[in-house]
Amino acid sequence: MGRRPPRVARTQAASALVLCTLLCSAIAAAAPKPNILHIHADDHRAEGLHALGTDALRTPHLDTLVERGMTFTCCYTMGSMVGAVCTPSRTMMLTGRSWMRIPKAADPLPNAADPATFLPRVMAAAGYQTWHIGKSGNAFPPGIRAFETSLIEDGKAGTRAGSSRRLADRTIEFIRSRAASRETRPFYIYLAPPVPHDPREAEPQFHRLYDPATLPLSPAFLPLHPWDNGEMTVRDEQLAPWPRTPEDTRRQLADYYACITGLDFHVGRIFEALQACGQWDNTLIVFSGDNGLSLGDHGLFGKQNLYEFGGMHVPLVFAGPGIPNGKSRALVYLMDLFPTFSDFAGAPLPEGVEGKSLRPVIEGRIAKVRDVLYTGYRDCMRSIRDDRWKLIRYPLVDRTQLFDLAADPHELHNLAAQPEHAAQVARLSALLEIEMAASGDKYPLKIEHPLPSHWSPPPPMQKRQAPPSNQAVSKT
Ligand SMILES: [Ca+2]
C-alpha cells in the first residue's frame, strides 16, 4: 500500500535499532580478550617437533597445537652481533624492534630502553595480568623485569633435568591460583624454559626413549664446514669434536630430543590445568624458539650461522580461539610477535615497533607481511631469502652462496658461481643492500682485503670432546 508506518512503530523500530547497536557494542566491549600462553623454548630447531617433520621425536602435546592451529614454517630471528644469539633474539621479541635498534644497539630510537614500550607493559596497559617464568641468562633482564611477576628458573648445572617439571609446576600453580582468587583479567604468560639448550639433561625416563644408534643424521651432515665462515670456534662449535663424527652427533641428537620430549610432557600438564580451570577455550597458545641450532648440519654445532637448518630459523605455532588450522610460508620474524599479541589484546603499539602483526595472515585476510627476509650474524654473514631463493654473503672471506630452497631445502648445492644464476645473485644482493639500509645495518658486504677462507681445526681442538655439563666455557 506504500503507507508510512505509524509514527509510534517507527519510534519503536528506531529504539530497537539503537538498543541493538548498544547491545552489540556492549557485547563487543565485553567479549573476553584471549589469555595468551607463550611457550618460548631455548635453541629449539624450526622442525623440532614430531608434527613439524622430525619423525624420530615424540611430542604428542605440542603436536596438538600444530594439528589444530596455524604453523609458520618460515619464521626467523633477525640476527645477532654477539655469539649469544639468544640475547638480541629475546630483546627483539619483547621490544618489537629490529637488531640494530634494540636498546644498546647501533641505531636505537630515544625511547628504545623505556620499559613502558616493552611488550609486558603494553599488555598490562591493555588489561592483562602479566606473568613470566624462565631462564635469566641472555634473556633481556629489563624486559622480564617489566612483567608484573617474573620468576627465574635457570636449571643450573646438575639440576637442569628437572627444570621443565619445576617450570610447569609453578605455571600450573599460577593458573590455579587465578581460578581460586577469581581473577578477572586475562593472563599473558611468558614461559621461557632453558631447554633444549645444552647441557641437555632431561629426566631419565625421557633419555630412555631415544637410542642414538637409531637416529637419522641430517642430509646436510658434514665432518667439517668446508671453509672458514668467520665463526668456526665459538663456544657452541666446541661442543663436538673435530672432525664431527656420526656417533657423537647421534648422541647429541638423542639428548636434544630427550629434552624436547621432557618439555612436551610437562607442557601437557599445563594444558590439563587450563582445561581443569575452564581457561582452555579462551587461551591463545603460542609455541616458538628463540634461535635455531646446527646439530652437525654443514659441519656446525652452533647457532652462529645463517643456514636454514642452523642459527636463525625457529618454530612458530599458534593455536586457540579463532585460529584456523593450516600452514603459512609467510616470511616472518620473532619480533612480529609483539604486534601480533598486541593485536589480539587490542593494545595500541608504542612508537618504534617494527614487527608486523601476523593476525591478518592467521585469519586468512592476507598471505604475507613482507616479500623478502634478511638475517645477519656479526660482521661475517648476511643473508636474504624470498619464497624460493636464498643468498648468503660472507664479506670477510668474499664468499657467496645461492640456494634454490624449493629444490634444495638443506642447502647442499651452492649455485652462486654458475653463470646462469648470475642475475639471481645480483637481484638478491641488491635486495639485501636495501634491507640492510632500511634496518640501519651499515656493515659492508665486500671488504678491500678479504681473508683466506681455508680452514682446518686448530690442533689442540682436533681431539676435543664435548665438555661436561658444568663446562668452563662461557655460556651463550
Ligand atoms: Ca637460545
Ligand 1 center from residue 159 Cα (angstroms): 19
Q: Which of 21-35, 55-69, 199-213, 415-429 has the lowest mean pLDDT?
A: 21-35
C-alpha cell belonging to residue 12: 519503536
Instruction: Assign 3-class secondary structure to 284-301.
Output: EEEEEECCCCCCCECCCC
Share of the chain above pLDDT 70, in %: 89
- Cα separation, 419 vs 441, in Å, equals 29
- Of 294, 242, 224, 231, the closest CA to residue 451 belongs to 231
C-alpha cell belonging to residue 29: 566491549
Amino acid at site 64? T
Domains of the chain: residue spans and CATH: 32-374 (3.40.720.10), 377-462 (3.30.1120.10)
- Of 70, 98, 27, 42, the closest CA to residue 339 belongs to 98
Please report which confidence band the pLDDT of residue 4 belongs to, taking 50, 70 and 90 as the band edges.
very low
Query: What's the mean per-residue pLDDT of the chain?
Result: 91
Q: What share of the chain is helix, strand, coil (3-state, %, to 5)?
A: 35, 15, 50
Ligand 1 center from residue 99 Cα (angstroms): 15
- What b/e readout covers 429-464, taking b as 16+ CB neighbours within 10 angstroms? bebbeebbeebebebeeeeeeeeeeebebeeeeeee
- Cα separation, 303 vs 41, in Å, equals 14
Residue 204: cis peptide before it, omega within 30 degrees of 0: no
| pLDDT (tens digit per residue) in 430-452 | 999 999 999 999 999 999 999 99
Ligand 1 center from residue 197 Cα (angstroms): 7
Ligand 1 center from residue 252 Cα (angstroms): 16
Ligand 1 center from residue 291 Cα (angstroms): 5
C-alpha cell belonging to residue 250: 647421534
State the CB neighbour count (10 A cutoff) for residue 419: 6
pLDDT value at 464 more than 70? no
| pLDDT (tens digit per residue) in 410-433 | 999 999 999 999 999 999 999 999
| pLDDT (tens digit per residue) in 92-124 | 999 999 999 999 998 898 999 999 999 999 999
pLDDT value at 43 more than 50? yes
- Residue tagged 552489540 (cell numbers): 24
95: Cβ contacts below 8 Å, ≥ 6 apart: 102, 103, 112, 117, 118, 119, 140, 143, 335, 338, 352, 353
pLDDT value at 11 more than 50? no
Ligand 1 center from residue 149 Cα (angstroms): 22
Ligand 1 center from residue 48 Cα (angstroms): 14
Ligand 1 center from residue 367 Cα (angstroms): 29
Q: pTM for the full model?
A: 0.91
Ligand 1 center from residue 182 Cα (angstroms): 36
Looking at residue 153, its pLDDT comes to 82
- Residues present in the chain in total: 476
Share of the chain above pLDDT 90, in %: 85
State the CB neighbour count (10 A cutoff) for residue 475: 14
Ligand 1 center from residue 42 Cα (angstroms): 4
C-alpha cell belonging to residue 132: 613470566
- Cα separation, 207 vs 215, in Å, equals 13
Please report which confidence band the pLDDT of residue 458 belongs to, taking 50, 70 and 90 as the band edges.
confident
Element holding 462 (H helix, E strand): helix 459-462
Residue 5: cis peptide before it, omega within 30 degrees of 0: no
Ligand 1 center from residue 178 Cα (angstroms): 30
- Quote the crossing angle between the two packed helices 163-180 and 246-276, to the nearest 10°: 10
| pLDDT (tens digit per residue) in 290-316 | 999 999 999 999 999 999 999 999 999
Looking at residue 377, its pLDDT comes to 98
Assign residue 180 a region: left if phi > 0, alpha if psi is -120 to 50, beta otherwise?
A: alpha
Contact 112, 136 (CB under 8 A): no
φ/ψ of residue 283, rounded to 5: -120, 120
pLDDT value at 229 more than 50? yes
Ligand 1 center from residue 27 Cα (angstroms): 42
- Cα separation, 452 vs 296, in Å, equals 24
Ligand 1 center from residue 29 Cα (angstroms): 39
Burial (CB count within 10 angstroms: exposed 0-12, middle 13-18, buried 19+), residue 235: middle
Ligand 1 center from residue 152 Cα (angstroms): 16
Taking residues 131-146, report their average pLDDT.
Answer: 91
φ/ψ of residue 252, rounded to 5: -65, -40
457: Cβ contacts below 8 Å, ≥ 6 apart: 224, 232, 233, 242, 243
- Cα separation, 166 vs 344, in Å, equals 29
Please report which confidence band the pLDDT of residue 160 belongs to, taking 50, 70 and 90 as the band edges.
confident
Ligand 1 center from residue 13 Cα (angstroms): 61
* CA distance readout (Å), 447 to 390, 391, 397, 443: 21, 18, 9, 10
Amino acid at site 147? F
- Cα separation, 88 vs 80, in Å, equals 6
